[in-house]
Structure 1
Amino acid sequence: MKKRITLIIAAVLLLCGLVGCETWDRLMKDTSSSVNGLKRTAVVYDQNGNVIKTYKGKFDVEINEYGNKVKFDIDGKRVMINNAVVIVEED
């Protein structure tokens, strides 16, 4: 029983320590983004730096492990961008 109480106290202290740090803030932002989406602007550029298209709205962005494919849903439509430069900023 003492071990259980000690573990609970340690977990609470660890959680309290994380509340004020950037890692915790990023975790909360990532969770909010994946559940609700965030208001963002995504600008798609070609290989010469010319703007192809700009997307604005509330969406979550998914990037593949190689970084050459970006996927998101906006206004009920799926957008998939391959082999282009995409800069996404939170509004």
Structure 2
Amino acid sequence: MTGKKYRKVLSVGILAIIGVVAISLSGCSSRWDREMKSTVSNWTGGLNRTVTVYDYNGQEIKSWTGKFDVTEDDNEVYFDDENDKRVIIQGGIVINEEN
């Protein structure tokens, strides 16, 4: 590849990278904030949270506080507590608060 052709390919590559970064940052700032928070959470072992389970009458059943990641799907909520024990919650009303 000649020097002139190499510079052209390099310039196009740099412009492409700048374009991708600009597009990814052009979304709403709350989305960006959520992505950054998720990245920090993944790298540091979670966020400081309180997870509380209530019965359907509003009475507290149990609460956990610590630094962990919480995963939710249609059937359950689960996380590994600070003692590395998996907590799986099925049913009830789960409130997941960031401290």
Q: Secondary structure of 1:89's match?
A: strand
Counting only pairs closer than 5 Å after superposition, residues 52-71 of structure 1 correspond to structure 2 as 52-64=61-73, 66=74, 68-71=75-78
| 1:13 matches 2:43 | no
Other-structure match for 2:85: 77
> Unpaired runs of 5+ in structure 2?
1-8
Secondary structure of residue in 2 paired with 1:11: helix
Could you state the TM-score of these two structures normalised by the residue count of structure 1?
0.81
Query: Which structure has the larger Rg?
Result: 2
Q: What is the aligned partner in structure 1 of residue 31 from structure 2? A: 23
Q: 1:39 to 1:5 in 2, by over 3 A?
A: closer
Distance 1:24 1:33 in 2: 14
TM-score normalized with structure 2 length: 0.75
After TM superposition, give the deviation of residue 84 of structure 1 in Å: 1.3
Divergent runs of 4+, >6 A? none
**CA RMSD in angstroms, aligned pairs only:** 2.0
Report the Cα distance in structure 1 between the residues aligned to 2:54 and 2:79, rounded to whole angstroms. Answer: 16
1:24 is displaced (CA, Å) by 1.0
* Identity value in percent: 44
The amino acid of 1:78's aligned partner reads R
Measured at CA, do residues 5 and 59 of structure 1 come closer, stay the same or move farther in structure 2, by a change above 3 Å?
A: closer
